[in-house]
Structure 1
């Protein structure tokens, strides 16, 4: 029977679920990314008001900047301050994603998606009403706690019994990310400019639009998304297990919550899952670090303005969406490790070209290779990981994977920016390029472990 039809057990159509997941995640990401181009202006706004909470965090940024010898320049301050706020968000995701996934294994994907979407709506209300930096931070904290849609959507796709459907679903999640991170910031910048002609604070309209996206998302989930967790899996799931397994970083790297569950995978599959989790962490640790320092390099070496930076990331987003919508979703089952290996290997020349670039042509070639790899690695690794664990563990497995990625995004930018300013751009990019050999070696050990 085709994976686009219903199974004998009445499972929802895979094609319908993939389409619904794509739309709801795209709506979520459009609202989430509206703020990205506004961060520098928001920080300037609170700096000018002399906000006490802002000044406290600015002292932390200044300490880090002085320790590394970063020039006192407005552009660098915005990148560092934005990185600090982003790290706070990622840290909360690191702590909460495994719990959100475990809860979805017990109560179902739909209830948790509805709950987290209501939480995101609350965060956007706080943003729209915020008139102090403390309220702005509260908005980011609520968002970090409630941003469970990504791991829950990957769990929904992981519930699909057909490997081809899972691969297509993970690729479409990647497309939603690429489109959301390409279109959302442009919308945020446009509506913020429109706000400057009114009596409102310049970020109020983007905040209200984000709230509207989230409200539509809530209605869409309620009306269109079927429950994909089988009833027998839901009723037999223990949910949390030991909280320490969901909060301890070492336990997360070992997927202990899965190992100690009522229905653990066979030992060989468990070993493969652990290796894939380490590949995911190492890749994102290196990748997020260079992604963060890319703004330093283009501003320092090519004197990119904010608009030129925006055009650069628009180019990256368009290339990624094209690759994910074409090549990535057509990768055949059994070929994902090979595809991941090829993509990670591509990052080595990509970042060498970017790090050594002395003209825009060389930079553009490096960015094109970078975009190809970014489009392939995460969807394929998510597909590989989704094959592990019973139907009552998919949420926990995908939540732990999301948590490892969040931890990598906390640590990677700190380490990479430190190397960048202490040793220089070329050393930073060349060293990190060489570092991609580590996930490649880990991937080789995963290939040697049998999937069964």
Structure 2
């Protein structure tokens, strides 16, 4: 998912969400906060998540330049981490080339961020079940705003790492937004909301990097460091997000749900990988799920982890393949991810949000099955046309699986457990994104691109088999 974002062609159909009849003043009224309209809640979620993701993705095209910047300053912390990357590169036989080094170093940074998300997502979700979605969204957004201040002021790699750590700890907006949507009582509204969250991701991961790259290049004429203007824009997005949440977002966790919540539970249930895969934090609360529904929730968590482990791994190696086989420049890589983002936004705005309740498991099976030929085509691609055929199928699957799995998981748990359930799901996804790139890039360089993509494609049968048991 890039995460980031022209965009007009793919976004226009995605935004045809019948919001034109909404009056913004009514969102701010006390009555709307007491009994929020589902469509208005979805509108607010889209805007606040889009602002968050636009800021988050500004940094993506800058990472190679940031690595080069600290390498030239001979920063001690950078040199230490570079030594670790060199050990990994030499063990796998990766050629000593600037492009590959940037991808590997970026992957290391991404793994640190994902591991922090793995630790904090369940806690943020559980806290929102205790205190409400709105207070936690305000708290996490303040934390993100502070992280951009640190980034803008950073003059050493240690400060830059501190910025990424703060971001990883407070990056709870996606977890909380999915919990807000899961609070909606109408299944159709929840489905619509999960699809809209997917659209926000596609638009954010399409537009954000483009904005970051443009502002970085224009910063050189102002005398600032190339990353300062994007950092300040990220801060502006966060402050706008904070204001929007304060003025527009109603509390969707009902007073009855808060009253029935039995407390924070065993802290280990939110940190232990085994407990997270078993959703133990949910089963130990009063009024646990029935055994059959609990088994289904565990299965959905396993499918989500397996899918993202394989998907994120091949997504990571895609940059290796296109650079090695087709000699893609950074601009060509950007155009490729732009194509992916536009297709995903179109699919999520047109097809995914119209999937009827009860058909989401079937849609997930179809999408994962589509990924198998997609990755085979990408792996064996002998020209650009075949590559983009595979990327089109890849984009379709990516636009369907996560929103539909999120919708299926949101049906589980009582009203006082939704934040915990969605936080655990996000945590499993973060763990998959931390481990998948390391495992898949190892296969890529040890066995070759063809073998890597074929083996991973075949491995997608695992989540398909898990889903077939449902």
- Identify the TM-score tier after normalising by the shorter chain: over 0.9
Within 2, Cα distance between the matches of 1:264 and 1:70?
50
Match status 1:393 vs 2:401: no
Matches within 5 A, 1:11-410: 11-410=35-434
Measured on the aligned residues, the alpha-carbon RMSD in Å equals 1.4
The change in CA–CA distance for 1:8 and 1:364 in structure 2 (over 3 A counts) is closer
Tell me the TM-score normalised to structure 2 length: 0.93
Once the two structures are TM-superposed, the CA of residue 263 in structure 1 deviates from its matched residue by 2.0
Shift of 1:265: 1.1
Q: Kindly state the Cα deviation for residue 383 of structure 1 after the two structures are TM-superposed.
A: 0.2
Q: Please tell me whether the aligned partners of residues 102 and 239 of structure 1 are also in contact (alpha carbons under 8 angstroms).
A: no
Please give the per-residue CA displacement for 1:97-130, whole angstroms capped at 9, x wherever unaligned. 0000000000000000000000000000000000
Is the CA contact (8 Å cut-off) linking 2:126 and 2:420 kept in structure 1? yes
Higher mean Cα deviation, 254-263 or 105-114? Answer: 254-263
Deviations 1:312-370 (A, max 9, x none): 00000000000000000000000000000000000000000000000000000000000
CA deviations over 1:84-103 (Å, ceiling 9, x no partner):
00000000000000000000
CA distance in 2, matches of 1:265, 1:11: 27
Paired residue secondary structure (2:469): helix
TM superposition shift of 1:8: 12
Summarize the Cα distance change of 1:117–1:8 in structure 2 as closer, same or farther, 3 Å threshold.
closer
CA distance in 1 between counterparts of 2:433 and 2:288 reads 29
Partner SS, residue 332 of structure 1: coil
**1:9 CA displacement:** 11
After superposition, give the CA deviation of every residue in 1:150-185 in whole Å (9 maximum; x if it has no partner): 000000000000000000000000000000000000
Q: Summarize deviations over 1:19-56 as a string: whole Å, max 9, x none.
A: 00000000000000000000000000000000000001
Distance 1:418 1:8, change over 3 A: closer
Query: Any residues of structure 2 matched to 1:403-422 within 5 Å, and which?
Result: 403-422=427-446
Q: For residues 120 and 278 of structure 2, what CA distance do their matches in structure 1 show?
A: 17
Q: CA deviation at 1:17?
A: 0.2
- Whole-angstrom distance in 1 between the partners of 2:217 and 2:133: 38
* Cα pair distance change 1:9/1:147, threshold 3 Å: closer
Instruction: Please tell me whether residue 425 in structure 1 is matched to residue 449 in structure 2.
Output: yes
Contact in 2 for aligned 1:22/1:176 (Cα 8 Å): yes
**1: CA distance, partners of 2:301 / 2:115:** 18
> Contact 2:32–2:250 at 8 Å: present in 1 too?
no
Whole-angstrom CA distance in 2 between matches of 1:240 and 1:374? 34
Measure how far apart 1:236 and its partner are.
Answer: 2.3
Partners of 2:308 and 2:48 in 1: how far apart?
25
Q: Structure 1 length normalisation: TM-score?
A: 0.97
Conserved? CA contact 2:344–2:396, under 8 Å: yes
- 5+ residue gaps, structure 2, are 1-20
Could you list the runs of 5+ residues in structure 1 that have no partner in the other structure?
Answer: 447-452
Which aligned runs of 4 or more in structure 1 are off by greater than 6 angstroms? 4-9
The residue aligned with 1:449 is none
The offset of 1:234, in angstroms, is 1.1
Helix, strand or coil: the match of 1:196? helix
CA contact (8 A) 1:103 1:239 kept: no
Cα distance in 2 for partners of 1:110, 1:379 equals 22
Report the alpha carbon displacement of residue 445 of structure 1 after superposing the two structures with TM. 1.3
> Structure 1 residues 309-318 or 195-204, which shifts more?
195-204
Deviation at 1:10, TM superposition (A): 5.0
Post-superposition shift, 1:131?
A: 0.5
Verify the 8 A CA contact 2:33 2:250 in the aligned structure 1. no
